[in-house]
Structure 1
Amino acid sequence: MARLAASEHDTSSGSSSSDSNGSYNAVSFLLDRNIEQGRGNKLAYTDTVSELTYGELQRQTRKLANLLRRLSVRREERVAMIMLDTIDFPIVFLGALRAGVVPVPLNTLLTAEQYAYVLADCRARVLFVSEALYPVVKDIVGRMPDLEHVVVSGNNAFGHKKLSEELARESDSFATVATHADEPAFWLYSSGSTGSPKGVRHLHANLEATASTYAKQVLGIREDDVCLSAAKLFFAYGLGNALTFPLSVGATTVLNPERPTPALMFKLMNKYNPTIFYGVPTLFAAMLHDDSLKDERCGSRLRVCTSAGEALPESVGNAWRARFNVDILDGVGSTELLHIFLSNAPGDIKYGSSGRPVPGYKVRLVNEAGEDVADGEVGEMLVHAPSAGEGYWNQRHKSRSTFEGYWTRTGDKYIRDAEGRYTFCGRSDDMFKVSGIWVSPFEVESALITHPAVLEAAVVPEADPEGLLKPKAFIVLRADAARDRLDEVLKEHVKQKIGAWKYPRWIEVVESLPKTATGKIQRFKLRERAS
């Protein structure tokens, strides 16, 4: 690959750059700018089977835009994507943006009825689906009233349109639609960990906002980086990791269409030698604790790792650093805010903490009365963000309770120390008081997993015989864990770590913990079980 100068494009304020007519299309910033700066022959993507240069990606997105026009999909109408992480994903996503059409990437792990709900909710005109995932939706596509076309990525189109054949019919000449920075660009559905998924409407400007803040000023992504993300592209976190950030500087990305197991991640790292690895806490822990992989390494060029989805336990961060000599930048993001807004940074890492606000973002912690709390006090986090969505689709009440003017209510409880670092305490509906003092489920869980017998832990409140709430722990044990006097040992371990009143009064051993597809523990299911 030719060595090319890094981009001089600077939007550190988080605002987007429009042309002289006031129009702005995110695909111009993410893709076309790379061609203008001479990266047409540089590798943009590999999915372990196929490769795509920046020039070919541009041509294919133009063909995709022409395909949407031929299918009579109009500006701002939606197309759904149930697609694995292959090179076809960025072609469809960016091609839709180019046409002014709104792509809606969907979780690839949903059930048929969950897809039916979301497809009906977003009123998608076209469904792009990977061949391997089509059997899940084959019985519902015929009853979606707004769905007119199904386009399959793969060899077998099941009687529908085949993406490769449809693109081959199209011209690679297309005048990018002159959208506006504040125009809807794409939707992402929330994980639905506490109810039905909500469609978050994001704007064309939001993608560049995350690139110019977190990617540029915290991650320090460069043109010579090779990126590997365990989080999939349909997640807000994965979309930034594997699309927005690398494209913003002309970097190269390795896509993984398979489940991100520890063994596969090590295999990809050793094959492609990435410089940036984006993971999640459960994966980092699994990679560290799998005895069959204890001698595996992460490649010779790895310079930084990131973590999001849930708070990274201090023990995991320290163990990763000790084994691989690479830091994990633990951060906090959300579907509503598109990517990470609070993070540790190179040279400023405190494991167990979520770090400080990303440049360009402002953060407040407030009590139940909406008043700012002092350092050392627990409060709900509100964020002033350049990348915030404009609201939920068809859910006005929830939009009003989440998007409050310039501020977005996260639903997370945090505590801020005197140095301005924030530490996660739990979701607002997960927190509870013991003897009048707030207890953070995450703090108890973090103490539990520092014991060598415990692999994973989740803590919820349960009422004692007097009706008072106390912590109850659900734990997953390591394979070689000794169970003799385990309850007593773990209770004493927590007391010594974080305080006598916080220890779990009950401990239940389970085979696994309920989680969302993003790896977040679904504590509401455990609360129901406990009650």
Structure 2
Amino acid sequence: MHRRTEPVNVKTAATPRHTYGELVLNSLLRGRGTAFISADDAETTYEEAAALFGRLRAALRSVGVTHRTGFGMLSANRPDAWLAQWAGVANGARYTPLHPFGSFDDHVFIIDDSEISVLIVDTEDHRERGQQLAAARPGLRVVTLGEAGFGANLLSLAADAEPDLTVDRAVSDTDTAMIIYTGGTTGKPKGVVLPHRSIVANHLLQQADWPWPIEPRFLVSAPMSHATGWFPLGALWHGGTVVMQRRFDITSFVETVKKHRVNMTFAVPSMIYTILDSPATAEADLSSLELIVYGGAPMTVPRLTQGLARFGKVFLQLYGQSEMPNVVTTLLPREHDPARPDRLASCGRPSTGIELRLLNDQDQEVAPGEVGEICVRGPLVMDGYWKRPEETAATLRGGWLRSGDLGMRDQDGFVTLVSRSKDMIITGGFNVYPAEVEAPLLTHPDVVAAAVVGLPDDQWGEAVTAFVVLREGASATPTDLKNLVKERKGGIYAPKAVHFIDAVPLTDLGKPDKKALRSRFGAGVPAASVL
């Protein structure tokens, strides 16, 4: 294996005054050779990528993606889409990705709430949804990646444009770069406002702490609408190559790693479990993999131990939230010690420059080994929630971001997550709030009450699990209710299991006692009620 042994000096590499679009542009202009390989094996050189980036900036500007305007994208993983999203950000616009598995209602809500004026649609994967959104919001300007029969073809506009390869000095590190939507306790997603300062810090922390391969060949397999979308810049920063799968598929994953000698990727735990369990990987030569970055959900110690036995010490764990993206703590490859299950159960130590404290209910720092709320301060932290001042004030209280996650720290500084004080479920690397699942369930005429929790699951990390009380004489089946949620919210939110119960247990305050549900049903439920 060939890895960089010296960390990057973040003070000389760049400073937080830079903007993210500037870092993308500089990386493209500096690089030589192949920058991208698409899912159909088409190669794009650095020179071609820089020119396309510049043309996309001009094309997006011509359709209104300019300083402090809002634009969005609905796309699978593809190089031109990755370049387009950061081209808009380089123009000073604020970017909001739409979840590729999201429901129509959620997409409409996010478009309205984030004040998106231009939407980029990948018509190979999302033509139908793009047409629906264009029809539902006539004032929305839809542009497409390729010919579609609706909207202007952004790639054609770019082909006719002069490339803009300048740095827009009107764009500041304090400008909003992204609004990322995360589930809310009320059932409606809420926008997390990330300035350039935050996502530049995210990039620099990767450079400071990760043992990057000398010539990265990074495979994008998880949706680039989420955390994965930030990682290609690191590979380009080092002059490497970004290889893209449109979406994760185990057969394609194995063939792509072998064919292109991929040495680095990011995966959520459920993807890693598939890699470990699939017959396609049993005899495959995946020895080129030098670094497997994982996060988005906890990974069980037995499965992580299995991964270490299969691939060696190539794993690097991240912990973060949308509000403090990705790199709050890091568990480095050398710290993945199979002889230390306590270490494998941790999420590592705070990344370079991150201030992290564990605070009790009186805002006092707890002693090592005691449980406290994880609170973070530093350039990584969000500016707040979009148009939600009260929630912003509560979360950023006293200058610290209150994560809602409970953890403890050992004498060596390693942080272990104990639980979430919020009820958020992390399933397959995606965040699901129970209220987002309960709301559609309660619209069914046969449903009297519903409570949703996450239960441990070997494949998904946590399985969305619904406990439902039906009206007398009701005919609804678990399949009916799963399909209802899938239709209203999308497949990620659909319960993996639906259990019919006589009554939802309540706390002394009359609220659903989800702790009781977890402890009562976590080890198993009557088979007749499960689907």
Equivalent of 1:283 in 268, 271, 274: 271
User: Residues 470 and 167 from structure 1, CA distance in 2 versus in 1: closer, same or farther, beyond 3 angstroms?
Assistant: closer
1:305/1:326 contact within 8 Å kept = no
1:14/1:360 contact within 8 Å kept = no
**Which aligned pairs between 1:286-435 and structure 2 lie closer than 5 A?**
286-290=274-278, 292-293=279-280, 295-297=282-284, 299-349=286-336, 350-404=343-397, 406-430=399-423
User: Residues 318 and 145 from structure 1, CA distance in 2 versus in 1: closer, same or farther, beyond 3 angstroms?
Assistant: same
How many Å separate the matches in 1 of 2:514 and 2:71? Answer: 47
User: Residues 287 and 222 from structure 1, CA distance in 2 versus in 1: closer, same or farther, beyond 3 angstroms?
Assistant: closer
Q: Secondary structure, in 3 states, of the residue corresponding to 1:302?
A: coil
Deviations 1:388-445 (A, max 9, x none): 22111111111112223542111111122222211112211349xxxxxxxxxxxx97
Give the match for residue 10 of structure 2: 11
Identity of aligned residues (%): 22
How far off is 1:50 after superposition? 2.7
Give the match for residue 135 of structure 2: 142
How far off is 1:286 after superposition? 2.3
How many Å separate the matches in 2 of 1:465 and 1:124? Answer: 41
How far off is 1:221 after superposition? 2.1
| Amino acid of the structure 2 residue aligned with 1:238 | T
- Aligned-residue Cα RMSD (Å) equals 3.5
Give the match for residue 524 of structure 2: 507
1:416/1:423 contact within 8 Å kept = yes
Deviations 1:337-370 (A, max 9, x none): 1222112113223211111111111211122222
Q: Secondary structure, in 3 states, of the residue corresponding to 2:157?
A: helix
Q: Secondary structure, in 3 states, of the residue corresponding to 1:410?
A: strand
Q: Secondary structure, in 3 states, of the residue corresponding to 1:138?
A: helix
Give the match for residue 73 of structure 2: 81
How far off is 1:74 after superposition? 3.2
| Amino acid of the structure 2 residue aligned with 1:378 | V
How many Å separate the matches in 1 of 2:91 and 2:522? Answer: 58
Equivalent of 1:25 in 19, 26, 34: 19
1:86/1:257 contact within 8 Å kept = yes
Q: Does 1:48 align with 2:51?
A: no
Give the match for residue 228 of structure 1: 219
1:366/1:381 contact within 8 Å kept = yes
How far off is 1:153 after superposition? 1.1
How far off is 1:279 after superposition? 0.9
User: Residues 458 and 186 from structure 1, CA distance in 2 versus in 1: closer, same or farther, beyond 3 angstroms?
Assistant: closer
| Amino acid of the structure 2 residue aligned with 1:272 | H
Give the match for residue 165 of structure 1: 156
Give the match for residue 436 of structure 1: none
User: Residues 15 and 79 from structure 1, CA distance in 2 versus in 1: closer, same or farther, beyond 3 angstroms?
Assistant: same
1:44/1:253 contact within 8 Å kept = yes
How far off is 1:45 after superposition? 4.5
How many Å separate the matches in 2 of 1:8 and 1:59? Answer: 31
1:331/1:343 contact within 8 Å kept = yes
How many Å separate the matches in 2 of 1:344 and 1:510? Answer: 39
1:45/1:255 contact within 8 Å kept = yes
1:261/1:283 contact within 8 Å kept = no
User: Residues 510 and 194 from structure 1, CA distance in 2 versus in 1: closer, same or farther, beyond 3 angstroms?
Assistant: farther
2:33/2:46 contact within 8 Å kept = yes
Q: Secondary structure, in 3 states, of the residue corresponding to 1:140?
A: helix
Give the match for residue 257 of structure 1: 246
How far off is 1:377 after superposition? 1.8
Q: Secondary structure, in 3 states, of the residue corresponding to 1:411?
A: strand
User: Residues 472 and 415 from structure 1, CA distance in 2 versus in 1: closer, same or farther, beyond 3 angstroms?
Assistant: same
User: Residues 193 and 289 from structure 1, CA distance in 2 versus in 1: closer, same or farther, beyond 3 angstroms?
Assistant: farther
Q: Does 1:239 align with 2:229?
A: yes
Structure 1 range deviating more: 68-77 or 104-113: 68-77
The gaps in structure 1 that reach 5 residues or longer are 19-23, 432-443, 474-501, 515-531
1:153/1:162 contact within 8 Å kept = yes
Equivalent of 1:152 in 124, 136, 144: 144
How many Å separate the matches in 2 of 1:163 and 1:469? Answer: 48
**How many pairs are equivalent?**
452
Alignment TM-score, normalising by the size of structure 2? 0.76
How many Å separate the matches in 1 of 2:75 and 2:183? Answer: 16
How many Å separate the matches in 2 of 1:282 and 1:205? Answer: 31
User: Residues 229 and 173 from structure 1, CA distance in 2 versus in 1: closer, same or farther, beyond 3 angstroms?
Assistant: closer
| Amino acid of the structure 2 residue aligned with 1:410 | S
Structure 1 range deviating more: 351-360 or 186-195: 186-195
Structure 1 range deviating more: 422-431 or 180-189: 422-431
Q: Does 1:61 align with 2:60?
A: no
Structure 1 range deviating more: 136-145 or 202-211: 136-145
User: Residues 80 and 363 from structure 1, CA distance in 2 versus in 1: closer, same or farther, beyond 3 angstroms?
Assistant: same
User: Residues 161 and 6 from structure 1, CA distance in 2 versus in 1: closer, same or farther, beyond 3 angstroms?
Assistant: farther
How many Å separate the matches in 2 of 1:117 and 1:50? Answer: 36
How far off is 1:158 after superposition? 2.1
How many Å separate the matches in 1 of 2:23 and 2:530? Answer: 41
How many Å separate the matches in 2 of 1:330 and 1:11? Answer: 20
User: Residues 375 and 509 from structure 1, CA distance in 2 versus in 1: closer, same or farther, beyond 3 angstroms?
Assistant: farther
**Which aligned pairs between 1:128-139 and structure 2 lie closer than 5 A?**
128-131=120-123, 132-139=125-132
How many Å separate the matches in 1 of 2:398 and 2:132? Answer: 42
How far off is 1:183 after superposition? 1.5
How many Å separate the matches in 2 of 1:459 and 1:68? Answer: 39
Q: Does 1:182 align with 2:170?
A: no
Q: Secondary structure, in 3 states, of the residue corresponding to 1:340?
A: strand
The gaps in structure 2 that reach 5 residues or longer are 337-342, 425-453, 468-503
How many Å separate the matches in 2 of 1:309 and 1:247? Answer: 23
1:278/1:307 contact within 8 Å kept = yes
How far off is 1:12 after superposition? 4.7
Q: Does 1:270 align with 2:278?
A: no
How far off is 1:86 after superposition? 0.4
How far off is 1:224 after superposition? 0.5
1:181/1:203 contact within 8 Å kept = yes
User: Residues 61 and 316 from structure 1, CA distance in 2 versus in 1: closer, same or farther, beyond 3 angstroms?
Assistant: same
How many Å separate the matches in 2 of 1:470 and 1:11? Answer: 44
Deviations 1:297-323 (A, max 9, x none): 352321121211111111111000112
How many Å separate the matches in 2 of 1:294 and 1:300? Answer: 11
User: Residues 6 and 72 from structure 1, CA distance in 2 versus in 1: closer, same or farther, beyond 3 angstroms?
Assistant: farther
2:289/2:314 contact within 8 Å kept = no
